[in-house]
Structures are given as C-alpha cells and as structure tokens.
Amino acid sequence: MASLVLTDSSQLISDNQDLAKPVFSDGGGDNPKIPSLRKTHNFIADVVEKVAPTVVYIEIKDTRRFDFFTGHPATASNGSGFIVHKDGLILTNAHVVIGKPHTQVQKDLTVMKLGSSASARPGEFVVALGSPLSLSNTITAGVISSVNRGSEELGLKGRNMGYIQTDAAITFGNSGGPLVNLDGEAIGINSMNVTAGISFAIPIDYAKEFLDACEQRIKLKGNATATKRKYMGITMLTLTPQIISEIIARHKLPEGVTHGVLVWKVVPASPAYTAGLKPGDIVTHINNKPVKGANDIYMALESAKYLSMMVVRENKRFEVTVIPEEM
C-alpha cells in the first residue's frame, strides 16, 4: 500500500545549510584562473556589438494618407538598412524606399565593412540584423545553407544571381538589413523568408556592383545615357508542382492552373499595390502571353509601358493593369 510521509522541511535545510545559500556570480567565472566561457565563446555577441551601430531603421511616410487619430502622415513602408559610407549612404532593399522622397541622415556615422560573398561557405555562422516591427537591432543567427541558390530556381529578381540561403530568420521588418559573418563584415542583404528555416539574402558582391553603377549614374546625372530600371513592387515565386499542390491543399484553385508566378509580397503604395495585386495572387498571363516563370514578368517589365495581367485569386480570375515606375 502506498503511503505519504510529511517531514519538516526546515529541519532538512538546517541540516544542510549549504543548500540554503544562494549562489551568485559576477559573470566572469568563480575561478579567476579559468577563463569565462561567456567571454571566450560568445562570438555572436561580439559581432553584434561591433556592427549594431551601422544598422538603421527606415520608415517612409506617405503624405497622401494621414493617420485618423494623430493626423500624422501614414507609414507607407518600413524596413532596415545599413550604412556603407561616412556621408550617410545607406544600403537597403529596393522595395523599402523605391519611389519615395529622399531623406537626410546625420553625419559621423559608423560604417559597415563590406566583405566578400564569394568567400562564404555552407555551414558558416552568420548573423542577420534588422528592425522588424520597429524594434531596432533585432538579432537572429544561423548558418549558411547554400551560397549559390539560383534565382531562376527561386523565381526571384536577378536572373543571373545566386542567392545566399540561410536558416537565420529574415522577416519583412529586417529586410534590407545586413547578413554578417563572424568577422563583422556584411556578406549579404537580408531579402526574404520563404518558410521557417529557409531565408534568402542578396550577395554583397552583387550589391558592390550596384553601388559602383550608382556612383557612375550620379556622375552621369542629367545625361541621357544614365540607365534607368523599371519597378513594379512585388516579390514573386515561380509556380512549381510542389507549390501548386500546397496552394490546392490550403486554398481554392481553378482547374487547369499549371503555370504562373505566386505573388509573395506587395510593397504598399507601389504600382502593383495601386493596381490591386495582393499577396497570394497567381499571375498566369501577362500582355496576353502565358507566364511560365518569373523571367517572363521581368522581360515584360523591361520592354512594355504597361503590364496587363491575368490574375487568379482563390477561385476567381480577373485582369489588372500595372503601370511600372522608373527608378
């Protein structure tokens, strides 16, 4: 038969006084001859301390819309960026600031050191910094899963570019922030998160080429030879059989949809947003031509003044017209 015996716990404690004494530590280890593990192995914290001052929160106001309660201009876009020049030049993703007014940045700022994405290796530790939900210097860490995930495979912009894949969490808010190696060098720009454990960053070597092109464009400002690019304001994924199966399992999908692109994200106040596109839409045709992948969208974007899109949303089909902006 089971029995329950109650004892005087105070007697037990008095017999073992050491158990009643709380143990305190200064964080440096009890034995001064043995180095603290926190001080010798917290390499991620060391990286964050070094590069955090270079990361900025970006908020774009839309003067055409105002908050009902405060009367202040509504937020059109927000994201992260990092300073790459002492004059205040900030590197970020296009969807964060494209088509928005310029802003002023204070001087004497800490500058992020740009590394080389070509030297990055799978399995290497990386840190993603940013400001999701306006929370400055939010940190996530992980490893590089792939250093050359083809953009055609992902249906992402930049057809001739291989993206860095990492399991460090990248959200909409820290998009545009830096992906940093353990030397405190930016090796990528946080771009997008597909699902838990799968995020992508733009290689910093590609960004360096972009910065060089921008410098040349500034020198040629006002010259007709300066190159301009068209902007629509969406992030896309090429439909694959696996993605189609997932959509069918979660949502209604008309029969016969075997190709197209999935609209993953729409930038507020962008041409696509104005036209009525929403995340989750599927674009099957553009200017009366079938869309097999994201490349078809980019080719039409470069050559056409307007984009007439056939869109599938849940179980409905309709047409929208997007007028791209130049950047």
Rounded to an integer, what distance in angstroms lies between the CA atom of residue 24 and that of residue 143? 34
Whether 267 shows a pLDDT value over 50: the answer reads: yes
* Helix residue ranges per DSSP H, 132-291: 151-154, 204-219, 241-250, 271-275
pLDDT of residue 6: 44
Mean pLDDT of the chain: 76
Rg of the chain in Å (alpha carbons):
26
pLDDT of residue 159: 52
Rounded to an integer, what distance in angstroms lies between the CA atom of residue 320 and that of residue 318? 7
* Helix residue ranges per DSSP H, the chain: 9-15, 37-41, 43-51, 94-97, 151-154, 204-219, 241-250, 271-275, 294-303
| DSSP letter assigned to residue 28 | S
SS3 content of the chain, % helix, strand, coil (to 5): 25, 35, 40
pLDDT of residue 12: 44
Rounded to an integer, what distance in angstroms lies between the CA atom of residue 82 and that of residue 227? 25
Whether 27 shows a pLDDT value over 60: the answer reads: no
pTM of the entire predicted model: 0.57
- List, in sequence order, every residue forming a beta bridge with 127; answer none if it has no partner: 141, 180
Whether 49 shows a pLDDT value over 60: the answer reads: yes
* Spacing of C-alpha 311 from chain mean position: 26
CATH architecture of 230-326: Roll (2.30)
Whether 196 shows a pLDDT value over 90: the answer reads: no
Whether 177 shows a pLDDT value over 70: the answer reads: yes
| pLDDT tens, position by position, 87-140 | 778 888 766 665 555 554 444 568 888 999 988 999 999 999 987 666 667 888
Q: Who has greater pLDDT, 268 or 166? A: 166
DSSP 3-state assignment of 213?
helix
CATH fold of 52-207, please?
A: Thrombin, subunit H (2.40.10)
Q: Which two tokens stand for residue 269?
A: 């106040």
Q: For residue 90, what are the CA distances in angstroms to 56, 81, 106, 205?
A: 8, 6, 12, 16
Lowest mean pLDDT among 60-74, 130-144, 286-300: 60-74
pLDDT of residue 188: 92
Rounded to an integer, what distance in angstroms lies between the CA atom of residue 307 and that of residue 323? 6
| DSSP letter assigned to residue 52 | G
Residue 308 binned pLDDT confidence (cut-offs 50, 70, 90): very high
pLDDT of residue 291: 92
Which strands sit side by side in the sheet containing 90-91, from one edge to the other?
55-66, 73-83, 90-91
Q: Which two tokens stand for residue 211?
A: 């910065």
Residue type for position 321? T
| pLDDT tens, position by position, 208-235 | 888 887 777 767 665 544 456 788 888 8
Residue 183 binned pLDDT confidence (cut-offs 50, 70, 90): very high
Tell me whether the CATH fold assigned to 52-207 matches the one assigned to 230-326. Answer: no
153 in Cβ contact with 198 (< 8 Å): no
Each domain of the chain, given as residue ranges in start order, spans: 52-207, 230-326
Residue 273 binned pLDDT confidence (cut-offs 50, 70, 90): very high
